[in-house]
Amino acid sequence: MKALALSVAVISSLAQAQDYPTRAVRMLVGYPPGGGMDAIARVIAPKLSEALGQQFVIENRPGASGGVAAEALVRSAPDGHVLMVAESGTLALPAVNPKVTLDPLKQFSPVGGVCTLPMAFVVNPDFPARSVAELIRTLKAQPGKYSYASPGVGSLQHLAFELFQRQAGVSAVHVPYKGASGMLPDLMSGQVPIGVISSLAASGPAKAGRIRTLAVTSPQRLTANPDWPAMAETLPGFSAAPSVFVVAPPGTPPGVVQKLAAVLGGALKAPDVLENLAKQGATPAPASPVELGVQIAEETRRWAAVVKDAGIKTE
CA dist 241 and 29 (Å) reads 19
More confident residue, 211 or 10: 211
In terms of pTM, does the model score above 0.95? no
The predicted pLDDT at position 180 comes to 82
**Coil, strand, or helix at residue 151?**
coil
Residue with the bigger pLDDT between 16 and 123: it is 123
Amino acid 96 reads V
Q: Which residues on neighbouring strands pair with residue 148, listed in sequence order?
A: 174, 194
pLDDT band at 5; cut points 50, 70, 90 = very low
Average pLDDT over residues 34-58: 96
Residue 98's pLDDT band, with cuts at 50, 70 and 90, is confident
- Contact between residue 148 and residue 173 where contact means Cβ atoms under 8 Å apart: yes
Q: Taking a C-beta distance cutoff of 8 angstroms, is the pair 38, 32 a contact?
A: yes
**Predicted confidence band of residue 6 (pLDDT cuts 50, 70, 90):** very low
- Helix axes of 36-52 and 271-279: crossing angle, nearest 10 degrees: 170
Please give the average per-residue pLDDT across 131-160, as a whole number. Answer: 96
Mean pLDDT, residues 251-267 = 98
Would the pLDDT of 309 be above 70? yes
CB 174 within 8 A of CB 99: no
Q: Is 59 helix (H, G, I), strand (E, B) or coil?
A: strand
**Mean pLDDT for the chain?**
93
- Whether residue 7 is predicted with pLDDT greater than 70 in this model: the reply is no
For the chain, strand residue ranges (E) read 25-29, 56-60, 82-87, 109-116, 119-123, 147-150, 173-176, 194-198, 212-216, 243-248, 283-287
DSSP code of residue 180: S
Contact in structure between 149 and 192 (CB atoms under 8 Å): yes
d(CA 183, CA 193): 11
Quick check: 2 pLDDT over 60?
Answer: no
Is residue 166 scored above 90 in pLDDT? yes
Widest Cα–Cα separation across the chain: 73
pLDDT of the residue at 9: 46
Q: How confident is the model at residue 16 (pLDDT cuts 50, 70, 90)?
A: low
Q: Which long-range contacts (CB under 8 A, 24 or more apart) does 15-21 make?
A: 15/255, 16/79, 16/80, 16/253, 16/255, 16/256, 17/253, 17/255, 17/256, 17/258, 17/259, 18/255, 20/52, 20/79, 20/80, 20/255, 20/256, 20/259, 21/52, 21/53, 21/54, 21/80, 21/81
| 1-10, 117-126, 199-208, 292-301: range with lowest mean pLDDT | 1-10
Per-residue pLDDT at 182 exceeds 80: yes
Is there a contact between 246 and 85 (Cβ–Cβ < 8 Å)?
A: yes
| Average confidence (pLDDT) over 294-309 | 95
pLDDT for 206 beyond 50:
yes
d(CA 9, CA 253): 9
Res. 1 pLDDT band, cuts 50 70 90: low
Whether the pLDDT of residue 106 is over 70: the answer is yes
